[in-house]
Amino acid sequence: GESVGLHLPTLSVQEGDNSIINCAYSNSASDYFIWYKQESGKGPQFIIDIRSNMDKRQGQRVTVLLNKTVKHLSLQIAATQPGDSAVYFCAERTGNQFYFGTGTSLTVIP
Amino acid sequence: SAVISQKPSRDICQRGTSLTIQCQVDSQVTMMFWYRQQPGQSLTLIATANQGSEATYESGFVIDKFPISRPNLTFSTLTVSNMSPEDSSIYLCSVALSGGTTDTQYFGPGTRLTVL
């Protein structure tokens, strides 16, 4: 199976600071990556995606960086807000199969 | 994206009974998926449900335990049969939507199942 893991299981940041959540993947053939946010009691919510032919993609307050050399994916959240508190996990696609990481729990301290 | 709803949102069931979970999408989609998510763990794919064909099950999951229906392009059901406490989990349906050349998976809100 695929190995999609997160470096840190928990992360606490002060409100207003930037957050960085990391993800390692193992299959160099993976061509598409997604970051999801999952709040307590809810389903995963799509945040941002990136294809393997890109190194960086920006959304509203979020940026995803892809380093194919070291098979590393990161999610940067600017000016973190209390509403950003959730579990974040990455997903990689190999062929037509998605593989999901276990998640990092982000806590925003007011 | 798509609006995906699931029923029930949660249930508490007795051992040996069965529960059918419904998944409704607001647009027609070819591929629907059923996942299980146990506390603190990642998503585990149970099966892929395509309209007009038998569901494709992943290793460790069988049709007798998790029968799936896909009667049309906007609806699917997953039944958890002969439940045991080990089936307690969150069950999620998802759909694959095309965004240009890329299919992205979107998830429903999940069904939280507790088996006593």
Mean pLDDT of the region B39-68: 91
- pLDDT band at residue A5, thresholds of 50, 70 and 90? low
CB contact under 8 A, B40 and A102: yes
What does the mean pLDDT of chain A come to? 90
* Helix, strand, coil percentages for chain B (3-state, nearest 5): 5, 55, 40
Q: Which residues in chain B touch residue A41, judged by CB atoms under 8 angstroms apart?
A: 110, 112
Tell me the C-alpha distance between A43 and B54, whole Å: 26
Tell me the C-alpha distance between B1 and A57, whole Å: 18
State both tokens at B3.
């609006």
If we measure between CA atoms, which residue out of A5, A37, A8 comes closest to residue A23?
A5
CB contact under 8 A, B107 and A49: no
Between strands B75-80 and B68-72, the pairing is antiparallel
Q: Which amino acid is at A83?
A: G
A100: contact with B, CB 8 A cutoff: yes
Q: How large a percentage of chain B has pLDDT more than 70?
A: 97
Q: What is the pLDDT of residue A39?
A: 93
Task: Render pLDDT for A40-78 as a digit per residue (tens, 0 to 9).
Answer: 889 999 999 999 999 999 999 999 999 999 999 999 999
Task: Render pLDDT for A14-45 as a digit per residue (tens, 0 to 9).
Answer: 999 999 999 999 899 999 999 999 998 899 99
Instruction: Give the number of other CB atoms < 10 A from CB of residue A106.
Output: 21
Reduced to 3 states (helix: H, G, I; strand: E, B; else coil), residue B39 is coil
Mean pLDDT of the region B49-75: 92
